[in-house]
Structure 1
Amino acid sequence: MTLKTALKLAKATLEACRKEGFQVAVAVSDRAGIPQVVLRDRFAGPHTVDVAINKAWTAVSFRQDTLSFALATAEPAHAGPRHFKNVVGVGGGVPVDGGGSILGAVGVSGAPGGEADDRCARAGLAAIRDDIEF
């Protein structure tokens, strides 16, 4: 994903959360989970930056959104990956895919609950869909 696209995704995601009245942090990572862009709104909590980065990392690493990951690892017999460093089993991390490949991920932290974080992330993705389709 180009830096220009990653920045557009981060800004659109932040704006989607603002429209709902949420102050959040947004992280966009590349396909290796390395942050390309991190934005934090003025009143987002101090923990939100690390959590957003780790949600994006989790989405890339496990190749699924973190809401699905949370459900898949909810049972104790399947919860082992939740104990790995940087893994966040809460909604708000969504892979960015285009042309059949994962290009990176977006992570959001600070809205009231993982479902709201996920909603903001998906709104941001909608804003760049034409930019990443091949």
Structure 2
Amino acid sequence: MIRNTLAAALLAATAATALGASDLKAEDEALVSFEVLTPELASELATNTLLACREEGFQVGVAVVDRFGVLQAFVRDRFAGPHTPDTAARKAWTTVSFREDTLTLVEATDSGPQRGARDITNALMLGGGVQVLVQGRLIGAVGVSGAPGGAEDHACAEVGIASIEDRLPF
């Protein structure tokens, strides 16, 4: 009895899928494509961001994540604090998760109903997470930790991103 019911349900689901398949639109296709930085370019972005901060006298850690928040590259300057690896990675993750630079999220989540976003595991609402965009599409993020404040971390990330822009398809 259970097998017959299960078989009938499976047959009905297969038939419904087959009937609806002809109505699929481009956005309903079974596979999606996405773009991320190559490991080499992600590493270069991290290094160039670190060098931009060093030029300003800041010892930082820099994380680069892909569009899904997965770490692609990390570099830490010799005197950067022990908190910088985790903080930089969380800033980058927060940026791709919320699809917004963390400097903007600091104020947006300061009060009101958006404040609850600060309680999300791994979210870190401190400046220094910056989106890497190609033709308006998010392909990853840079997280910087260790400068005297979030605005300085953010500025270093922007310099790092600018250093690789000529190799991104804009």
Task: Normalising by structure 2, report the TM-score.
Answer: 0.77
Give 1 or 2 for the bigger CA radius of gyration.
2
Mapped partners of 2:104, 2:74: distance in 1: 23
Quick check: 1:5 aligned with 2:41?
yes
CA deviations 1:98-125 (Å, max 9, x no partner) are 0231110000000000000001000001
Matched length: 134
**Larger RCO (CA under 8 A, 6+ residues apart):** 1
- State the match for 1:70 in structure 2: 106
Among 95, 115, 120, the alignment partner of 1:59 is 95
Quick check: 1:81 aligned with 2:128?
no
Quick check: 1:14 aligned with 2:50?
yes
Where does the alignment leave 5 or more consecutive residues of structure 2 unmatched?
Answer: 1-36
Tell me the amino acid that sits aligned with residue 83 of structure 1.
D
Where does the alignment leave 5 or more consecutive residues of structure 1 unmatched?
Answer: none
Which of the pair is proportionally richer in strand? 1
Secondary structure at the counterpart of residue 110 of structure 2? coil
Task: Normalising by structure 1, report the TM-score.
Answer: 0.97
Tell me the amino acid that sits aligned with residue 41 of structure 1.
D
- State the match for 1:121 in structure 2: 157
Identity %: 54
Moved over 4 A (4+): none
